[in-house]
């Protein structure tokens, strides 16, 4: 049976070069905190990687804090910047309505346990945050805002957000940006954007799972979540995961993701879909988007049924999020874009990556009609 992977936004294949670099590092002995020869050797490797990642994202090496995931980086940034602000009497957290759960849930936690007031910036029907709303909030309550966190691009729709404008509106208010989906897909520079903090994750760019980075402005000191050896600027403790860090840096250095190619595949897919399922709609089609992600609503279907049928045809795609019990839920992103629960629950995400081909597109298009027909029948049953 065919096996077509169109879920690169969830995770993408690890690059051979990253795997090789990582495997070699696995054979190296030494705790980077140790002062002897072995320790120094590992430390050197990690610092090389740090510099390399810094170069790729336009920051200083000292601004890179390695974490165990993008989720962890988001948690450190949001909670840390909030606590720092709260010490000065600022208790408002501003995030967008379409953030990943790795921002939404820590924000909710801060509201439930730490006295935060969370304000959600709404989005337009095409999935772009409402800058006027943000301006209004900042002008009225700027003195109370501890942190603003807006993602660089949305993981479900691929819609890019106007981060430069956000930073301009924010002025002195610290801005964090979850750039997990954007890194290496579209131009991204920490210093040019003028951010306080930015989140990266290795496994979305061809690196290993379970390693990420928080880019945190040099002079910003925030409380830690993990206390211990104080390895990463006293903000993140834990013996550094040298093999994964090496794999991360190798992937970050690689230019294997050709945005033009990926976008051409995506556009060919959309064109084909329009022909065979004319009532399918592309979410966020009017906005600037990442090259690889497309989110489609198929009226009269249910996403989880479609996913099962796609999967049984050998196509791996995604329905967006599921709750802890594994039950598919209407996407908060699509709901924020004005979908009804019903139409949000009839949507699928396809995300193309560097290894995707025209043959993948052709194959998916060949199975779509039958999948949609059956999906519609199951929905009526």
Partner 1 sequence: MKLIAAMSGGVDSAVAAARAVEAGHEVIGVHLALASNPQKYRSGARGCCTIEDSHDARRAADVIGIPFYIWDMAEEFHDGVVEDFLAEYAAGRTPNPCLRCNEKIKFAAVLDRARAMGFDGVVTGHYARTQISETGKTLHRAVDHSKDQSYVLSVLTIEQIAGAIFPLGDTTKVDIRKEAEARGLAVAQKPDSHDICFVPSGDNAGWLRDRLGSEVGPIVDQEGVKIGEHKGAYTYTIGQRKGLGLTVPTVDGSPRFVLKIEPVTNTVVVGAREDLAVSTMKGERPVWCGPGVTDQVLRGFVQVRAHGAALPCSYFFDGTLLVAQLDEPLLGLATGQAMVIYDGDRVVGSATICETA
Pick from 63, 178, 232, 360 the residue near ligand PLP by CB under 6 A: 178
DSSP, collapsed to helix, strand or coil, labels residue 14 as: coil
According to the binding rule CB under 6 A, does residue 347 interact with ligand PLP? no
What size, in residues, is the chain?
381
Q: What are the beta bridge partners of residue 199?
A: 178, 214
By beta-carbon proximity to ligand PLP, the closer residue of 70 and 247 is 70
According to the binding rule CB under 6 A, does residue 69 interact with ligand PLP? yes
Closest separation in Å from C-beta 219 to ligand PLP = 25
Residue 156 binds which entry of ligand PLP, partner 1, none, with Cβ cut-offs from 5 to 8 Å by kind? Answer: none
Residue 79 binds which entry of partner 1, ligand PLP, none, with Cβ cut-offs from 5 to 8 Å by kind? Answer: none
By beta-carbon proximity to partner 1, the closer residue of 120 and 372 is 372
The position carrying tokens 């190619």 is: 261
Q: What contacts 292, CB < 8 A, 6 or more positions away?
A: 8, 9, 158, 185, 262, 263, 266, 351, 352, 353, 356
By beta-carbon proximity to ligand PLP, the closer residue of 68 and 220 is 68
By beta-carbon proximity to ligand PLP, the closer residue of 201 and 231 is 201
Structure tokens of 317?
Answer: 């795609």
Picking from 67, 65, 92, the residue whose alpha carbon sits closest to that of residue 81 is: 92
Q: What are the beta bridge partners of residue 118?
A: 93
Instruction: Give the alpha-carbon dihedral of 186, 190, 196, 201, to 10 degrees.
Output: 60
According to the binding rule CB under 6 A, does residue 98 interact with ligand PLP? no
DSSP, collapsed to helix, strand or coil, labels residue 316 as: strand
**What are residue 372's phi and psi, to 5 degrees?**
-70, -40
Residues 193-222: x where in contact with ligand PLP by CB under 6 A, - otherwise, as a string: --------x----------x----------
Q: Which of 59, 177, 317, 323 is catalytic?
A: 323
Pick from 181, 283, 295, 305 the residue near ligand PLP by CB under 6 A: 181
Which residue has the closest beta carbon to ligand PLP?
Answer: 70
Residue 68 binds which entry of partner 1, ligand PLP, none, with Cβ cut-offs from 5 to 8 Å by kind? Answer: none
Going by the DSSP 8-state scheme, the letter that residue 198 receives in this structure is E
Closest separation in Å from C-beta 373 to partner 1 = 10
DSSP, collapsed to helix, strand or coil, labels residue 161 as: coil
Q: How many CB atoms lie within 10 A of CB 150?
A: 25
Give me the residues that bind partner 1 (CB under 8 A), please: 304-305, 307-309, 311-312, 322, 324-328, 374-375, 377-381
By beta-carbon proximity to partner 1, the closer residue of 178 and 304 is 304
Pick from 71, 244, 331, 351 the residue near ligand PLP by CB under 6 A: 71
Catalytic-residue membership of 317: no
Closest separation in Å from C-beta 145 to partner 1 = 34
d(CA 149, CA 152): 10
By beta-carbon proximity to partner 1, the closer residue of 3 and 37 is 3
For 295-314, the DSSP string reads EEE-TT--HHHHHHHHHHTT
Structure tokens of 109?
Answer: 């936690």
Q: How many CB atoms lie within 10 A of CB 357?
A: 12
Structure tokens of 174?
Answer: 């610290």
Interacting residues toward ligand PLP by CB under 6 A: 69-71, 74, 100, 102, 151, 155, 178, 180-181, 201, 212
Active-site residue numbers? 323
């Amino acid at each position: 049976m065919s096996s077509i992977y169109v879920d690169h936004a969830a995770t993408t294949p690890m690059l051979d070069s990253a795997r090789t670099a990582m495997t070699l590092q696995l054979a190296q002995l030494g705790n980077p905190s140790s002062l002897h020869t072995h320790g120094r050797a590992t430390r050197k490797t990690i610092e090389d990687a740090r510099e390399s990642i810094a170069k790729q994202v336009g920051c200083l090496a000292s601004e890179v804090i390695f974490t165990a995931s993008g989720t962890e980086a988001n948690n450190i940034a949001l909670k840390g910047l909030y606590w720092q602000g709260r010490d000065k009497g600022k208790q408002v957290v501003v995030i967008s309505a379409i953030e990943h759960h790795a921002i939404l849930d820590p924000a909710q936690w801060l509201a439930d346990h730490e006295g935060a007031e969370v304000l959600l910036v709404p989005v337009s029907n095409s999935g772009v945050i409402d800058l006027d709303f943000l301006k209004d909030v900042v002008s009225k309550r700027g003195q109370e805002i501890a942190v603003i966190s807006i993602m660089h691009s949305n993981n479900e729709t691929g819609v890019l957000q106007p981060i430069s404008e956000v930073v301009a509106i924010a002025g002195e208010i610290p801005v964090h940006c979850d750039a997990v989906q954007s890194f290496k897909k579209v131009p991204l520079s920490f210093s040019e954007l003028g951010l306080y903090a930015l989140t990266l994750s290795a496994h979305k760019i061809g690196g290993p799972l379970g390693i990420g980075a928080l880019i945190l402005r040099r002079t910003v000191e925030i409380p830690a979540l993990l206390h211990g050896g104080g390895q990463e600027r006293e903000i993140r403790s834990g013996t550094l995961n040298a093999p994964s860090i090496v794999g991360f840096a190798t992937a970050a250095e690689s230019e294997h993701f050709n945005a033009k190619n990926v976008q051409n595949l995506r556009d060919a897919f959309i064109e084909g879909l329009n022909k065979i399922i004319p009532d399918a709609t592309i979410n966020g089609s009017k906005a600037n988007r990442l090259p690889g992600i497309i989110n489609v609503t198929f009226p009269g279907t249910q996403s989880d049924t479609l996913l099962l049928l796609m999967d049984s045809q050998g196509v791996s795609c995604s329905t967006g999020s599921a709750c802890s019990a594994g039950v598919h839920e209407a996407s908060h992103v699509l709901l924020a874009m004005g979908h009804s629960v019903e139409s949000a629950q009839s949507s699928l995400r396809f995300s193309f990556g560097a290894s995707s081909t025209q043959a993948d597109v052709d194959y998916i298009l060949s199975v779509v009609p039958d999948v949609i027909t059956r999906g519609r029948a199951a929905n009526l049953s």
